[in-house]
Structure 1
């Protein structure tokens, strides 16, 4: 079974899992790995997602276009569509599912990247004079013509023709395709599909915050989960994550000198962390 076949199977299984739930938007389930907190309260995942996208819609109301590439999750889909429904109708907002195969070996990742490079080289011989981005668009047009329908909503999925080491196999589904974009425009939007940015945020969260480390299963009789640096008061972790989120989006500049907030026109420049930590609102 190829990596793409494995990914297609995972996508189909995700649809089946969502369809089997009483509430298609609810993906929470309590088991040996997840339980209600002993202190405080846990907000339902669907409430959090809807609140998140409603906040995004308010913050980005001045943006000319909004393009959202999201995990394959029925709750995220519902929250995005509810928050941006008017802009979707106005054709100033669009959303895509992106599914990436993550459980694979370095050898398979390298093989996938080499195959993509060979494919791009062959395309360059067919279309001399085109740059790499234009060649990718041509490859994407070809994939668009052989997209397949999956799941209870007959969503159209296609394979992204240029995988990377971090995303060795990738499939994309356009959730808001109303058939009014020309093929060139649609192909360029498909080609931008990636989860790399959000995966990078999660990776840095775990690396920088000891309280966010992955759990360690002990050798005890009940195989209890132990967190070496765990915040046994959940509110402490929540406050730490909130501080890190602000730092990542408003303080931490990339090589180009810009922060994520600057790219969204939410800030004019990087903010010093001290300004955040010692900020005192107006009385």
Structure 2
């Protein structure tokens, strides 16, 4: 990655960088550490350790820039207890704590037993920590903190004049983007689009919506006087006319000042897909300075195909990140293949990301079969897995 990603990207400058971010979760296999078994620990198997993975890919090439597990495997409860005593973290607001990024931001300190209410809360909190310490070392990290670090590292790696980001309506992703790209957003050089998909649709319903979308566009084009039958061109014409009267923001007046505010007015994307059907598109940043035809061109590109392609590879090729199995009784889900140490999940993700970017070509609409790294323009050949294993 240092030779074929970091160095080439230092010398490459993008006019526009389109990013697609998504977050998936899996439950760690809650295997207790050695020596923590026995009858006195009965019932701890019910503890579900939900872990998040953040993935960001480039929209057009599907190049996966990062895939990060929201976990800190170097932090210990002993260090947490020392920081709590040293910085009095148990008496601070959450945002002021040194370890606010962790799921346990401080180590509970014993209050006087005379204060029954505080002592009961202390007993509850200390028992949670003792139960958690029976399992894998390290602590889970807040998803927003992980996303902020995730975007900051991408921003250091990639040089671009303008940024476009696509995600679902996840608050941790949106907050991270607004913080890391705050200056670019103020200069109108960064915009955030929402791709809102209904995951409960059946495959049959999605396919029907795909056929309906084609027919609707062709009928609209005929009635509007357009001779072309190219669906993408018709979708652009349709969106251009739509954005002459529709905005994603609303004007708000306070005294003598007038400013634009996010209006939560999504539109239906005119191009449906076979697997997802129709999906909604929204923009949370201010597009008022952009012409309708340019907004239409941007909205046409809003989809989550880039991250879906990599996440599907994760699910299929990494057994530790596979979807859960149904139990024999049908009472619930089994995570028997899930790993119990996120450190090794991160190692596996980095290896898979390298293979996906440099060794796995795919055929796109232009008919060319290229790897994501070739499409991004940082390599000229398809690598073999042996090229990576035996790198000198």
TM range (shorter): 0.7 to 0.9
Tell me how far 1:258 sits from its aligned partner.
2.9
Give the match's secondary structure for 2:136: coil
Which residue number in structure 2 is paired with residue 206 of structure 1? 315
Distance in 1 between residues matched to 2:329 and 2:302, nearest whole Å: 44
Distance in 1 between residues matched to 2:286 and 2:369, nearest whole Å: 35
Distance 1:90 1:265, change over 3 A: farther
Whose Rg is larger? 2
Which residue number in structure 1 is paired with residue 357 of structure 2? 249
Distance 1:258 1:82, change over 3 A: farther
Q: Provide, for residues 112-159 of structure 1, a one-character-per-residue CA deviation record: whole Å limited to 9, x for no partner.
A: 112101111112212323443221012223544356779x95333111
Which residue number in structure 2 is paired with residue 82 of structure 1? 179
Which residue number in structure 1 is paired with residue 278 of structure 2? 169
User: Is 2:359–2:382's contact at 8 Å kept on the other side of the alignment?
Assistant: yes
- The CA RMSD over aligned residues, in Å, is 3.2
Distance in 1 between residues matched to 2:157 and 2:280, nearest whole Å: 29
Q: Provide, for residues 210-267 of structure 1, a one-character-per-residue CA deviation record: whole Å limited to 9, x for no partner.
A: 111112353679x675334332333222211221112112322222243323333444
User: Is 2:262–2:284's contact at 8 Å kept on the other side of the alignment?
Assistant: no
1:1-283 residue pairs with structure 2 within 5 A? Answer: 33-35=48-50, 38-41=135-138, 42-61=140-159, 63-125=160-222, 126-130=224-228, 131-144=230-243, 145-146=245-246, 154-218=263-327, 225-255=333-363, 256-279=368-391
Taking CA–CA contacts closer than 8 Å with sequence separation of 6 or more, which of the two structures ends up with the larger relative contact order? 2
Distance 1:277 1:81, change over 3 A: farther
Distance in 2 between residues matched to 1:127 and 1:174, nearest whole Å: 30
Q: TM-score, with normalisation over the residues of structure 1?
A: 0.75
Give the match's secondary structure for 2:153: helix
Distance in 2 between residues matched to 1:279 and 1:226, nearest whole Å: 39
User: Is 1:143–1:158's contact at 8 Å kept on the other side of the alignment?
Assistant: no
Give the match's secondary structure for 2:178: helix
Which runs of 5 or more residues in structure 2 are unaligned?
A: 1-24, 28-45, 52-131, 251-260
Q: Provide, for residues 26-56 of structure 1, a one-character-per-residue CA deviation record: whole Å limited to 9, x for no partner.
A: xx9x997545872132222112111111122
Distance 1:261 1:177, change over 3 A: farther
Distance in 1 between residues matched to 2:190 and 2:390, nearest whole Å: 36
Give the match's secondary structure for 2:272: coil
Give the match's secondary structure for 2:199: coil
Tell me how far 1:96 sits from its aligned partner.
0.5
Tell me how far 1:73 sits from its aligned partner.
0.8
Distance in 2 between residues matched to 1:80 and 1:57, nearest whole Å: 11
Bigger helix share: 1
User: Is 1:149–1:157's contact at 8 Å kept on the other side of the alignment?
Assistant: no
Which runs of 5 or more residues in structure 1 are unaligned?
A: 1-27
Which residue number in structure 1 is paired with residue 39 of structure 2? none
Give the match's secondary structure for 2:235: helix
Tell me how far 1:166 sits from its aligned partner.
2.1
Tell me the matched-pair count: 250
